[in-house]
A and B are shown apart, each in its own frame.
Chain A
Amino acid sequence: MSEEWVDEPVVRPYALTRGRTAPSPRAALDLLATVVRTAAPAPDSAELGVHHRRLLERLAEPRRVVEVASDMGLPVGVVRVLLGDLLEHKLITVRQTAPSSTMESLLREVIDGLRAL
């Protein structure tokens, strides 16, 4: 009886955040908030691990939190904490989207998509 498991995550999610489940400054990081990297250079510090750098690489363009999370295959809670760390080092900026308009544009996109079918 030999089983093999291929391509599971190398680092368990709890280790990425050192066990934290909420971002430190309690920043209003909505799932639909857009984040983008600033021009500030990444500090050579152990506070930011390999996954912080990976995340930063993906934020050259403004992205939504939920998109980034699914892109990296990580729980949203984890991505939020990581983004909170980056925010603390002022490596990204957050643009909050009004919940209503976000909702409206989202619904519009859905309708457009359905029509196109």
Chain B
Amino acid sequence: MAAGRSIRSKIIVLLALPLASLVVLWGYAASHTTHDAANLLRVDTIWRGVVDHADLLVARVQQERLAAAERLAGADDPVKVGRTRAAVDEASKALTDSATSDDTQSALNAEMKRQLQAVFAAAARLPEIRRQVDRGALTPSRLVEEYATVSDAVWRLYAEFALATDLELYRRANGLIAADQVRELLSREHALVVAAAGKPDLQLLSRIDGARTWQFRRAMTDLDEELRAPYEKVPLAPVDRAVATLTSGGELTVAQWRAAMDPALAVYTEAMSVSGEALLARAEPAGTGIVARAAVAGLVGLVAVILSVVVAVRMGRGLARELAGLRAAAQDLAEVRLPHLVERLKRGERPDIPREAIPSGTTTEIADVATAFGSVRDTAVEAAVGQAVLREGVAEALRNLARRSQSLVQRQLSLLQEMQGQTEDPEALGKLFKLDHLTTRMRRHAEGLVLLTGGKTGRAWRGAIPVEEVVTGAAAQVEDYTRVRVYPMPECGVSGLAVADLMHLFAELIENAAAFSAPTNEVSVRGEVVGKGFAVEIEDRGFGMDAEQLRAVNARLAAPPDFNPADTERLGFAVVALLASRHGVQVTLKASPYGGTTAVVLLPADLLEQPEPAPAAAPGRVPQPRQGQARGPGLPRRVRKVNRSPEEVRALLQSDGEGTP
């Protein structure tokens, strides 16, 4: 994969964005619900730390105020006054302790703390009010106003506690607070009338009463039917009538007033307790709901996120792995297995054709691609097999034809040999020589075709033949053989079985040297024994080849070619390469100091044999077509047989040698 990014990185990019978004969304939802839960916790803390105690304080201040009103009217009970004051102080202390605890303070914001301080300040003024009450220095109106500072401060504090997470609950709570204020206003009216002994400041009374009436209606609209029901039982009508009597200038005794107001206050207080309980009972499931929501949003969301990540990563990796496997299989097929298979088919082998499926995964598309690769492979293999069969067929046809003409030429040469032995006339002999030369060259070409198409020369000698003789025989097969000069070489023989091939090899090189040099120049052939065997140098004095050509030809000589009918150029070199590789001979072309080319042929040591010394001629032998230089007795023979291996030929030759005297 040279350019571009891998499928793995693309899958990572593809999955990373949705997964990151999912995590962020989950985080947002979880924090939101957690915030709600935290808020609920905070409301709970404030309720227990402040509201409960403040409620108690307000209720007790109302009682203290009533006791103080009685004192101002001169109808007091000192025990009752002291008890109510102690109760207020106790409630005030409890509120202070509870509200200033670390737990509660941490749940309050700055404005809440400020209002709380105002409540504390109002409570701190109580001793001063009490002293004025004890001195009788307060008018009933002042009494009501002084004590009102505490409850007013508490309500301002409550106004800051608008911390509801549920609109319905918030509204009902607001209604309850308003109802609480109604009770305070009732209590103020009560204290005002009692302190004034039935003759209150009518303006103040009507103002408070107006506020109370309006506030009660507001409270009732904020409460629903269930919460409203207890208040409907409160006997407010006698109170309203008593107030109306007073404000219209009528007279009422304190006893008459109290008969109207006391039961109303008592029932009202009862109603507040009932409705407060009811609202609390409703708030609990809401709180549970909030906590449950937070837990569900957090946990379920987390599970969903983890599941998504796991599934995405697994699928992504699976896909990447499948693709990687497919790629590896395809590359292996394209770069290793198919070329190897085709190579073996070219060499004429019949390897097992692989039919196994290319590994693929569970993804349909990838499996399809793998199947397609398999089809491509099968088609390619079939084509290669077909080509190999065709090539072999062509080669066999050519080989057969060449073999036939070689056979005929061989017979013609035997005939010529016989005629030459019987001719003494130099002129006739000269013509026979020319015919012989032409026939020899014909044989060489036929033999070349046999070799190229994978056959063997079919000629063999018993025993070893001196290299010099082999080279001389090779030179004779060349058109311009008179220009070839074979210089004397050290006595060294080559195996008779390799002679025909080597002669052909030398002939091709000598022919090449002669063809690429001027008709007047000699082609020199020299030989010497070297460390690794025997070296023969064939040197021409032509124009030579440039370095590039030399390199190309040497490369071609080093690798035996396949039979390729299309490549007709320099067939000679193809034959040389073939024969060289068959016998482990090394052929190198190099530039000659004369400007031409020198071919160096290195015969390996295992090809060399010591030639037998020529035996003395047996006396009295018939001097007839004796071929060869007295190399063993007997006539040259032509053995007709089918498919005989070189080993068999060797065995045959040996048994022949032993069998004759």
Q: Which residues of A contact B400 (CB under 8 A)?
A: 1
The reply on B440 being an interface residue by CB < 8 A is yes
B641 touches A4 (CB 8 A): yes
Verify if B336 is at the interface (C-beta below 8 Å from A): no
Q: Are A50 and B468 in contact, with the CB atoms below 8 A?
A: yes
Docked-complex contact B436 and A12, CB < 8 angstroms: yes
- Over the window 393-409 of chain B, the binary record of Cβ atoms lying under 8 Å from chain A Cβ atoms (1 yes, 0 no) is 00000001001100100
Q: Is the CB of B614 within 8 A of A3?
A: no
Interface size in chain A (residues, C-beta < 8 A): 38
Residues of A with C-beta under 8 A to B629 = 10, 54, 72-73
Instruction: Please name all residues of chain B whose beta carbon is closer than 8 Å to the beta carbon of A9 when the two chains form the complex.
Output: 417, 473, 627-628
The contact of B627 among A4, A7, A14, A76, by CB within 8 Å, is A7
Query: Which residues of B sit under 8 angstroms from A57, Cβ to Cβ?
Result: 614
25 A-B residue contacts at CB 8 Å? A1-B403, A1-B404, A2-B403, A3-B403, A3-B407, A5-B636, A6-B460, A7-B462, A9-B473, A10-B473, A10-B628, A13-B417, A15-B476, A18-B482, A19-B482, A46-B486, A50-B466, A50-B486, A50-B488, A54-B629, A69-B623, A70-B621, A70-B626, A71-B630, A72-B629
Q: How far is the CA of A8 from the CA of B462 in the complex (A)?
A: 10
Contact (Cβ within 8 A) B627 A73: yes
Total A-B Cβ pairs within 8 A: 159
Q: Are A4's CB and B644's CB within 8 A?
A: yes
B residues less than 8 Å from A32 (CB atoms): none
Partner of A19, one of B430, B621, B625, B641: B430
Q: Is the CB of B429 within 8 A of A21?
A: yes
**CB nearest to A17 among chain B residues:** B433
Q: Is the CB of B469 within 8 A of A4?
A: no
Interface bits B464-482 vs A (CB < 8 Å: 1, else 0): 0110111011011000011
Q: Are A15 and B462 in contact (CB under 8 A)?
A: no
A62 at the interface (CB under 8 A from B): no
Interchain CB contact under 8 A, B638 and A3: yes
Q: Which 7 A-B pairs have the closest CB atoms?
A: A70-B623, A73-B626, A15-B476, A14-B433, A21-B426, A22-B426, A21-B429
A-B contacts besides A10-B461, A18-B482, 12 pairs, CB < 8 Å = A2-B403, A2-B642, A7-B461, A10-B473, A12-B476, A13-B436, A17-B433, A46-B487, A49-B488, A57-B614, A72-B629, A77-B426
Q: A7-B631, A77-B420 given as contacts; is B486 within 8 A of A49 (CB)?
A: yes
- Considering only CB atoms, which chain B residue lies closest to A23 in the complex? B426
Task: Tell me the complex Cα distance, A78–B625, Å.
Answer: 14
Q: Is B475's CB under 8 angstroms from A15's CB?
A: yes
Q: Select from chain A the residue with minimum beta-carbon distance to B406.
A: A3
Residues of A within 8 A of B465 (CB): 10
Taking CB atoms, residues of chain A closer than 8 Å to B413 are 8, 12
Q: Contact partner of B437 among A12, A50, A69, CB < 8 A?
A: A12
Q: How far is the CA of A10 from the CA of B434 in the complex (A)?
A: 17
Rounded to whole Å, the gap between the CB of B537 and the closest CB of chain A is 14
A43 smallest CB distance to B (angstroms) = 10
Assess whether B354 is interfacial by the CB under 8 Å rule: no
Q: Determine whether the beta carbon of B623 is less than 8 Å from that of A6.
A: no
Write the chain A residue with the least CB distance to B656. Answer: A6
Question: Which residue in chain B gives the minimum CB-CB distance to A10?
Answer: B473
Q: Is A117 an interface residue (CB 8 A)?
A: no
Q: Is B424 an interface residue (CB 8 A)?
A: yes
Q: Contact: A6 with B476, CB < 8 Å?
A: no
Bound-complex Cα distance A41 to B32 (A): 123
Closest to B522 in A: A46
Cα of A4 to Cα of B469 in the assembled complex, Å: 21
How far apart are A48's CB and chain B's nearest CB, in angstroms? Answer: 8
Please judge, given known A-B contacts A4-B459, A18-B482, A70-B626, whether A11 and B469 are in contact too, CB under 8 Å: yes
A13–B653 CB distance below 8 A? no
C-alpha gap A5/B486 in the complex (Å): 26
Q: How far is the CA of A77 from the CA of B653 in the complex (A)?
A: 31
Instruction: Kindly report which residue of chain B lies nearest to residue A12, judged by CB atoms.
Output: B476
A19 CA to B427 CA, complexed, in Å: 11
Query: Which residues does chain A contribute within 8 Å of B421, judged by CB atoms?
Result: 75-76
Chain B residues in 8 Å Cβ range of A112: none
Alpha-carbon separation in the docked complex, A46 to B485 (Å):
7
Question: Residue B649 at the A interface, CB < 8 A?
Answer: yes
Q: What residue in chain A is nearest B481 (Cβ atoms)?
A: A15
Shortest CB distance B403–A (Å): 6
Q: Which among B424, B460, B476, B499 is the interface contact of A4 at CB below 8 angstroms? A: B460
